[in-house]
Structure 1
Amino acid sequence: MTYRELRPGANWQAQSACRREDPELFFPIGDTGPSLVQIEEAKEVCRDCTVLEPCLQWALDSCETHGIWGATTEAERRRLRRPARPA
């Protein structure tokens, strides 16, 4: 299910696993050291989420630059948005 496939006006975020978590978990400061543990903990919540795909698609479409969305970091989403290089 993508966020576009939800009924018009549907709030996919209301179905997210992260709604029951501390929001700070999904906004680590940095991407090294102790932040790596926090990033992995946030991604683990995402991996069990029923709306992982719509969440990731929203983050990609909106060019979200902060936080963990759809089990991805900002750097991972940046790589996903890059056009593929010809072989």
Structure 2
Amino acid sequence: MSTTIFKVVKSHSAPATAARAKDWRDVALCRSHPDPEMWFPKGTDAVSMANEQEAKRICAGCPALAACRNWAIETREDSGVWGGLSERDRYNLRRRARSRSTDPAVRVLTFPSVKDAYEALAKKDGRHVLWTGGNEVKVGKARLTPNQVAWQATRRRTPVGRIFTDCETDGCVRHLNDQVIRQAREATRRAAA
């Protein structure tokens, strides 16, 4: 993160590099680009889409492309362009990978209600609630992800936008956020800067 005397400036520049061995982040082209915000388009307007395409073009020639892309997918990075993939691209990759599963043990379980699905497949484990089912369940005619089931079963409002986990514990469906929570956090960060 770059700082000036007057304010903190957000920087895309691959994850922090202090106090670690040299790796792909040291050769990433985004580290030296004059407009780091290009990697974080703020919407779907023409300017944001042009910035996303330009960031992807720069990524295409980056020597850290593969390592950056793998890092973003493995850590489930939920914003910005990383390794030439936007957040939509990474989401669609994960979705396609789930739908191509050929494991016969992977089946979609059907439940009469979201509460029933949550009670059957979510198990409390200390501070976390771990999902023990597959990547998808069927409630009535709707197919839902574990995050959607957990959100609907434990919250009193409909989520806005996609639901992401805030937790680094694999399978945790307790620590979730939606667009409302993410926007509130961003507003708090801006106010603190």
Larger proportion of helix:
1
Distance in 1 of aligned mates of 2:53 and 2:81: 10
Q: What letter corresponds to residue 75 of structure 1 in structure 2? A: R
Q: Which has the higher contact order (CA 8 A, sep 6+)?
A: 1
Distance in 2 of aligned mates of 1:44 and 1:58: 19
Confirm whether residue 85 of structure 1 aligns to residue 95 of structure 2: no
Residue of structure 2 aligned with 1:52, choices 59, 62, 65: 65
Q: Which residue of 2 aligns with 1:19?
A: 31
Larger proportion of strand:
2
TM value normalised by structure 1: 0.81
Q: What letter corresponds to residue 23 of structure 2 in structure 1? A: N
Distance in 2 of aligned mates of 1:15 and 1:40: 21
Unaligned residue ranges in structure 2 (runs of 5+)? 1-20, 103-193
- Which has the higher Rg, Structure 1 or Structure 2? 2
CA 11–34 in structure 1, closer or farther in 2 if over 3 Å, else same: same
Give aligned-pair identity as a percent.
37
Deviations 1:27-81 (A, max 9, x none): 1101332211111110111000011011010000000011000111101101111
Residues paired across the two proteins, number: 80
Q: State the shift of 1:86 in Å.
A: 6.0
Q: Secondary structure at the match of 2:99?
A: coil
Distance in 1 of aligned mates of 2:101 and 2:70: 24
Q: Which residue of 1 aligns with 2:41?
A: 28
TM value normalised by structure 2: 0.39
Unaligned residue ranges in structure 1 (runs of 5+)? 1-8
Q: State the shift of 1:25 in Å.
A: 1.2
